[in-house]
Structure formats: structure tokens, C-alpha cells
Amino acid sequence: MTHRSLLAALATSTALVAAPAIAQDCADPIKVGVLHSLSGSMAISETTLRDVMLMLIEQQNEAGGVLGCQLEAVVVDPASDWPLFAELTRQLLTVDEVDVIFGAWTSVSRKSALPVLEELNGLMFYPVQYEGEESSRNVFYTGAAPNQQAIPAVDYFLEELGVESFALLGTDYVYPRTTNAILEAYLLDKGIAAEDIFVNYTPFGHSDWSTIVSDVVALGAGGKQVGVISTINGDANVGFYTELGAQGVSAADIPVVAFSVGEEELSGLDTGPLAGHLAAWNYFQSADTEINADFVAAWKEFAGEDRVTNDPMEAHYIGFNMWVNAVEAAGTTDVDAVREAMWGQEYPNLTGGTAVMNANHHLSKPVLIGEIREDGQFDIISQTTEVPGDAWTDFLPESAVLTSDWQALECGMYNTETETCVQLTSNY
């Protein structure tokens, strides 16, 4: 039995156990929207997410579909054009009439789609680490919130590597800016002086990194250990890491921990000079578990032996399977029924343990720190148990008073001081 057949058989077994005694009209397939950039600056990261969704849908169809119905992928290309995410979200929901959307990478693309999702009561699963400060009734966030990636990475720099001066380098949009605002507040709270925090933003696709890397190197002129926290996104990472190598900067000199660089991004680089630099995610392909071995084998059979897996792929894997189980439990693809069936859903992580969907629409997930190897894979050097994702950070005063609970409070932005619910859209 092939790995793909094995996973299909397992999915069939799960569906037989979970399926309710409610029949679904299968005159038309259940449509799954796939909203990922296949061109432009973010294609380097998002194309593989389109591909893993096609694999998951194929596997589910081999296992009998959902509620006895086949699934149909409806794939669109927003082309790394942020307003186009809103237009194509509307098209998917009104013209293509999809039942669910899996998509987006950058926060600006998610925020572009969000008003349309809320207007039309669509449902989207968002698979990428992000800045938090959001909890929509129409989105399930299967990537990491800051307390599941950014904060633990800074703690590792402080406690394990003795970093004293921080360079916060990011692409110029909402995710890096909000994440770095949280990290600046956190570092100041930890006793790092303001003059030891260097913040720099560059546009998408930025390629000339010589001056910025030189500025980072200069931070250590006084003898303090420098570390880089990278929220650089997309193909700009190629130029950044290439310039590090060109200036002879090794991980022993200035360690970099990246939040948007995984196996897929490294597959196009000469990773020899990058060995020892770090990334913080909730999954790495090198995770030594039987379930991950099966997943990696199924992926390579589907996409090719040279293809790698990464964290957002695992997020789609968890989110898709939770959605399948929620639809089976609800007996319908109706958005409101599925949303309620999602609270408390559990599904195995590929790294071991179990992901849980909380009432704030964020997962409980483990936090992993990985060290880049010369072959472009990661050695996992730190791993926690499951950490519940926080929709609102404790390190920004305006957010510390907020909480999210769609099950008990029916609110994603509840002010605990005034005991009132604030509309999320007013926070944009």
C-alpha cells in the first residue's frame, strides 16, 4: 500500500466514525476555494500551499469525499496583488459559490479579504504566522500568533544565545510592523535599552541589502552580541541571505531567526553559508514522527521527490482536516453550523501531540526553533508542548484588556474593563 493510499484509508476510517446520519445532496460537488498567489513576489511561498491543498482534496476524494460528496478545488491567483485578494474572495463566494476558502499568506492580503468574508459570511482558513491583534468570526487562524513564534524566539535569543542588541528587519506591511511593535515592548520590558533595538523596513521584492547588512554588523562595534529578528517576506529573503554570505556574516557572528523562511524558501538558496541560522515555526519537515514520515512521503509522491514540506503546509493539513470533521459533525457545509462545530476540534500535529481549535479561532500548537543545515533542512533544537494562540497580545496596552471568545461571549474583541464587545472592523 502506498503512503497516499494509507492516508486515504485512514481518512476513510475517520469519516466513517465521525459521519452523522444526515444525507447531503451531492448533485453538485462541495467547492473548496484556494486563494494563493501563484505569481508575483509571494509565489515563492504560496504556490506550494496551492499544491498541498490539491493533494489534501485528492486524498479526501479517494477516501469518499465529505458527507458522501466529492470535493472540487476552485483555484484562483491573486498574483501578490493585495486588492485582488478582496476581488477574488468575492468571486469565489458569489460566482463560484465555494463552501470554504483556504488562503492568503501576508496579513495585508488577509485583511483585504476580511471585509468581504464578513459581509458575505464566508469562511476562510488562514495558514501562516501573523501579528495577532485580530479575531474574526469568519476566519480560523491555523498559523502562529506572536506568543507561539515571535516571543519564544526572542526568549531563545535572550536566554540561550545571550543577545544584547537586536536588529528587527521586516518587509514594510502590517505583519512586520505590528509584530515588531510587540517585540519592542517586550524587549524593553526585559531590560533591553532602546538604543540597542534597531528597526528597519524594506518593500516587497527588495534586493539591495548591502547597506542594511553593514548597519547590522555595525551594531556590534561596541562588543555586544547582535541578533537579527527577521520578518522579511517573500523573495526578498534571497537577497538578504545572499548579502549575509557576501559580507562573511555567519551564525556564530550574528545569528538570524526568521519567521517567514522555511524549507520552501531555502530550497532556492545556497544554504551552506546559512548553516547555523535559525527559524521559529510550529513544524519542520525534519520532525521525527511516524505521522510526519507518512505526510512527507505522500507529498513527495504527489508533487515530486525534490519538493519539501513546511509549516504553513502543516497548518493547511490541520485546518483542512478539522474542517472536514466539523462538516461531518454538523452534517452540512453551512458556515454558521461548521463554525460552531469547529470549536474544540482536535487533530494530530505532524510533530507529535494534538492541535486544538480554541474558541478564539486560534490553535493550540507547539513552538519549535530550528537550526538551518547545509542541506536546507532544519535541526530541531527546541520544542515545547502545545501553546494556546493569543488573539490579543499582553504587551500592548490597548490590547492587554481585550479577549476573544466566540463560543461564550460571541465576540472576538471583548473589552474586559468595559465588558463590551467592539466590532473588529473598527480596529483596522
Tens of pLDDT, residues 68-127:
999 999 999 999 999 999 999 999 999 999 999 999 999 999 999 999 999 999 999 999
Per the structure, the complete domain to which residue 410 belongs is given by: 402-427
Q: Confidence band (pLDDT; 50, 70, 90) for 21?
A: very low
Q: State the distance between the two ends of the chain, measured CA to CA, in whole angstroms.
A: 50
Q: Domain check: are 33 and 97 in the same one?
A: yes
Structural domain count, the chain: 3
Q: Report if residue 390 sits inside a domain.
A: no
Nearby residues of 376 by Cβ (< 8 Å), 6 or more positions away: 263, 266, 267, 269, 271, 308
Q: Report if residue 20 sits inside a domain.
A: yes
Q: Report if residue 98 sits inside a domain.
A: yes
Domain boundary among 249, 281, 313: 281
Residue 103's CB is within 10 A of a number of other CB atoms, namely: 30
Q: What percent of the chain has pLDDT over 70?
A: 93
User: pLDDT at position 178, please?
Assistant: 95
Q: Confidence band (pLDDT; 50, 70, 90) for 424?
A: low
Q: Domain check: are 185 and 309 in the same one?
A: no
Tell me the C-alpha distance between 32 and 414, whole Å: 31
Q: Domain check: are 95 and 45 in the same one?
A: yes
Q: Domain check: are 80 and 210 in the same one?
A: no
Tens of pLDDT, residues 228-237:
999 998 888 8
Nearby residues of 78 by Cβ (< 8 Å), 6 or more positions away: 35, 36, 37, 84, 85, 88, 109
Q: Report if residue 109 sits inside a domain.
A: yes
Q: Report if residue 75 sits inside a domain.
A: yes
Q: Domain check: are 137 and 164 in the same one?
A: no
User: pLDDT at position 427, please?
Assistant: 38
Residue 376's CB is within 10 A of a number of other CB atoms, namely: 21
> Residue 8 above 60 pLDDT?
no
Q: Domain check: are 225 and 264 in the same one?
A: yes
Q: Report if residue 384 sits inside a domain.
A: no
- What is the mean predicted confidence (pLDDT) over 14-28? 51
Written as one string, the DSSP assignment of 317-369 is HHHHHHHHHHHHHHTS--HHHHHHHHTT-EEE-TTSSEEEE-TTSBEEE--EE
Using an 8 Å Cβ cutoff, are 3 and 294 in contact? yes
Tell me the C-alpha distance between 262 and 140, whole Å: 22
User: pLDDT at position 234, please?
Assistant: 83
Domain boundary among 259, 281, 303: 281
Q: Domain check: are 7 and 71 in the same one?
A: yes
Q: Domain check: are 112 and 8 in the same one?
A: yes
Q: Report if residue 182 sits inside a domain.
A: yes
Tell me the C-alpha distance between 138 and 125, whole Å: 9
Nearby residues of 360 by Cβ (< 8 Å), 6 or more positions away: 135, 389, 390, 391, 403, 404, 405, 406, 412
User: pLDDT at position 271, please?
Assistant: 87
Tens of pLDDT, residues 244-285:
989 999 999 999 999 988 998 888 778 888 899 999 999 999
What value does the mean pLDDT of the chain take? 92
User: pLDDT at position 24, please?
Assistant: 59
Q: Domain check: are 155 and 259 in the same one?
A: yes
Q: Confidence band (pLDDT; 50, 70, 90) for 297?
A: very high
Q: Domain check: are 52 and 160 in the same one?
A: no
Residue with the three cell numbers 504560496: 46
Any idea what the CATH number is for the domain that residue 95 is in? 3.40.50.2300
Domain boundary among 281, 308, 343: 281
Q: Domain check: are 82 and 200 in the same one?
A: no
Task: Identify the DSSP state of 146.
Answer: G
CB environment 383-405: b (16+ within 10 A), e (fewer) = beebbebbbbbbbbeebeebbbb
Q: Report if residue 316 sits inside a domain.
A: yes
Q: Domain check: are 135 and 154 in the same one?
A: no
